[in-house]
Amino acid sequence: MSEQVLVCPSDELKEGTVRVVAIGDVEIGIIRHKGACHAYRNVCPHQGGPVCDGKMMPQVEDVIDANGLFVCQNFKEDDMHIVCPWHGYEFKISTGEHAVDPNVRLKRYDITERGGNIYVTL
């Protein structure tokens, strides 16, 4: 049976920030990105590192010209990642999938904002 747990008032989670909360013996990272909230267990599927304590950064993409030659690298601002601080695995904030292998993913929780507060469903 699922249970909704109050995390914090909505206005305490600013754009582009992460708040790690302990609910019982589970740590969950609550991320606000482009206005939406995302919730993931703070355990990296690689070796158990505190993934939600990592930095957020966009996907880096190579720019290749018409001749197939490398031009430069750009940040892809619409594909934001969180980077595990232990070994650098990157996960898409919008889905929790690893940046390269979508079969590797963070444990995701449903999250809602209601009445000026943020709730996570366990």
- Contact positions vs ligand FES (CB under 6 A): 44, 46-49, 51, 84, 86-89
The nearer residue to ligand FES, 21 or 44, going by C-beta atoms, is 44
Name the minimum Å distance from CB 72 to ligand FES. 27
Given a contact cutoff of 8 angstroms between Cβ atoms, the answer to whether 41 and 106 are in contact is yes
The nearer residue to ligand FES, 58 or 85, going by C-beta atoms, is 85
Name the minimum Å distance from CB 22 to ligand FES. 19
Name the minimum Å distance from CB 104 to ligand FES. 10
Phi-psi region of 45 (alpha: psi -120 to 50; beta: other; left: phi over 0): alpha
The nearer residue to ligand FES, 39 or 54, going by C-beta atoms, is 54
Would you give the DSSP letter of residue 96? -
- Helices then strands, each counted (H, E), the chain: 0, 9
3-class DSSP state of 12: helix
